[in-house]
Amino acid sequence: MFEITDPNNIQLNSEGQLKHFITTEGLSRELLTEIIDTADSFVDMSAQQVKKVPLLRGKTVVNLFFESSTRTLSTFELAAKRLSADVLNLNISTSSTSKGETLKDTLQTLEAMHSDMFVVRHSDSGAAHFIAEHVTPNVAVINAGDGRHAHPTQAMLDMLTIKRHKGDFSPLVVTIIGDILHSRVARSQIHALRTLGAAEIRVVAPNTLLPRNIEALGVKVFTNMESGLKDADVVIMLRLQKERMQSALLPSESEFYKLFGLTNEKLQHAKPDAVVMHPGPINRGVEIESAVADGHQSLILDQVTNGIAVRMAVMSMSMSGQMTEKNLKTEA
């Protein structure tokens, strides 16, 4: 694990604009809303005959994945190409470049190729933050998921999905269900929902999958699905990693599904117009039954579409923030 200092000393330029995107924690409501609004303007591009804008023309984006994820890598690659950037995908073994000087060497090699943006996914918490601290000026760093720490673009695509279907956040009760303890997605969602003013944020999980003092993040904790789902407007299921099933944290897949899997029967406790989300990939019959995942309340495919738009927004905003910082320093 890398040491994480105040992220906003790194994320924002001197004008308060985004120049890296490491975490949703500490960002203002205005900035999160700007990300959502910018992404919203990109959503309908997929229906256009020409799906490109020139915002990153001439820029080189390196997808630097020390941890595999086909879905996240694909959406970042597509987002960069729709912004007209040149894209290089690198899947790097964590065995040789996990921390410290070896990671710095990797960065220097990529910087020598005149890269403009690193999209970083790493199994160690704080890795994207470390890279943003040590990268050469004018290179933007986007966190595509680091350890248990953060997955900010996933959180923001979820916020965009909620906004497009529910509008105002202020009256919403949002229930997040599953492996809260190990989920970087849940942490980023909670920070974003709280900043955007959601009325109530709930987490539902067995005690073994709840972090200590999770209430300090401003959430209500439930260990019973029916209570946690009561009158919810938004239900977010989390992916359960297979290794949790093989440890002492859970008795079995079938037991977890019985108590915490989302079925149509359990969903009846939420509001009739509640929407269902899942960051994917789905473990059907473990976290959620197919009838719910494929049902009329599910926004899972919308999340995939919105993910491209959010990543386009974050990449274009970060590059713009870097350019503004460069211009200010030149003028000074």
Dump pLDDT digits (tens) for 8-62. Answer: 678 999 999 999 999 999 999 999 999 999 999 999 887 777 789 999 999 999 9
Name the E strands within 28-126: 60-65, 86-91, 117-122
Q: What token pair was written down for 206?
A: 């067995």
The per-residue pLDDT for 315 is: 98
Domain ranges of the chain: 8-151+305-321, 152-299
Query: What percentage of the chain exceeds 70 in pLDDT?
Result: 90
3-state helix/strand/coil string of 265-310: HHHCCCCCCCEEECCCCCCECCCECHHHHCCCCECHHHHHHHHHHH
279: preceding bond cis by omega (within 30 degrees): no
What is the rounded distance in angstroms from the CA atom of residue 81 to the CA atom of residue 53? 9
**What single-letter DSSP state applies at residue 12?**
B
User: Pairing between strand 86-91 and 60-65?
Assistant: parallel
pLDDT value at residue 84: 97
For 145-168, letters b (16+ CB in 10 Å) and e give bbbbbbbbbbbbbbbbbbbeebee
Hey, what are 127's tokens? 């890795």
pLDDT of residue 99: 47
User: Per-residue pLDDT tens for 147-183?
Assistant: 889 999 999 999 999 999 999 999 999 999 999 998 9
* Homologous superfamily of domain range 8-151+305-321: Aspartate/ornithine carbamoyltransferase (3.40.50.1370)
Nearest to 154 by CA among 41, 85, 238: 238
The DSSP code sequence of 238-261 is: -PPPHHHHTSTT-S-HHHHHHHH-
Tell whether the torsion through CA atoms of 75, 67, 162 and 7 is positive or negative.
negative
**Among candidate residues 152, 113, 153, 110, the one with its CA nearest the CA of residue 135:** 110
Q: Are 219 and 202 in contact (CB under 8 A)?
A: yes
Q: Name the residue among 177, 229, 231 with its Cα closest to residue 205.
A: 177
- Shared fold status for 8-151+305-321 and 152-299: yes
Q: Pick the closest to residue 287 from 273, 296, 272, 298 (CA basis).
A: 298
User: What local confidence, expressed as pLDDT, does residue 157 receive?
Assistant: 98
Q: With contact defined as beta carbons under 8 Å apart, do 262 and 295 qualify? A: no
List the strands of the sheet with 86-91, edge to edge. 86-91, 60-65, 117-122, 140-146
**Contact partners, residue 261, CB within 8 Å, separation at least 6:** 285, 286, 287, 288, 289
- Token code pair at residue 230: 């009561």
User: If residue 227 lies in a helix (H) or strand (E), which one and from where to where?
Assistant: helix 225-229
Q: Are strands 173-177 and 117-122 parallel, antiparallel or unpaired?
A: unpaired
What is the CATH class of 152-299?
alpha beta
Q: Which residue has the higher pLDDT, 291 or 8?
A: 291
Please, which residues bridge with residue 61 across strands? 87, 117
Stronger pLDDT, 124 or 169, i.e. the higher one: 169
The predicted pLDDT at position 98 comes to 45
| Among 150, 105, 185, 118, CA closest to 1 | 150
- Looking at residues 231-253, what average pLDDT do you find? 76
**pLDDT-derived band of residue 4, with 50, 70 and 90 as boundaries?**
low
Q: How far apart are CA 237 and CA 282, in angstroms?
A: 9
